[in-house]
Amino acid sequence: GAGVSQTPSNKVTEKGKYVELRCDPISGHTALYWYRQSLGQGPEFLIYFQGTGAADDSGLPNDRFFAVRPEGSVSTLKIQRTERGDSAVYLCASSLFPPRGTLSGANVLTFGAGSRLTVL
């Protein structure tokens, strides 16, 4: 698509429930990133994919969080047993992924509008 699309834009759920957030990246972008933005904070890195595999998931806060990208395009962020502290805006971004050492303007992240998650 023309931009990064995230659904749902808003999700309200109850503590303990399971949630899925979807990201549809820009067509042809091989790299996909998930960030979490809590109120009054900057976005914090969660995980990124190069193709279908998670290249780095070091930002996932615990094992309740999981993300997949089975066909190298759309990604789903999954949160089990949600807690009130999970309330935040979840941002997805995509980019072309450069060979090491050749970062250029083509590799800049393009962000979606985010999915606002509220856990009651």
Q: Does 87 bind another protein (CB under 8 A)?
A: no
Report the C-alpha gap between 91 and 33 in whole angstroms. 8
Quote the least distance from Cβ 92 to another protein, whole Å.
Answer: 9
- Which residue in 28, 40, 53, 70 binds another protein (CB under 8 A)? 40
Per DSSP, 99 falls in state P
Q: Which residue has the tokens 């998650």?
A: 117
Span 7-26, contacts to another protein by CB under 8 A = none
Nearer to another protein (CB atom), residue 70 or residue 100: 100
Q: Does 52 bind another protein (CB under 8 A)?
A: no
Q: Does 30 bind another protein (CB under 8 A)?
A: no
Pairing of strands 31-37, 88-95: antiparallel
How many helices and strands (H and E) does the chain possess? 0, 11
Q: Are 32 and 11 in contact (CB under 8 A)?
A: no
Q: Does 65 bind another protein (CB under 8 A)?
A: no
Structure tokens at 111: 């962000």
Q: Does 53 bind another protein (CB under 8 A)?
A: no
Span 97-116, contacts to another protein by CB under 8 A = 97-105, 107-114
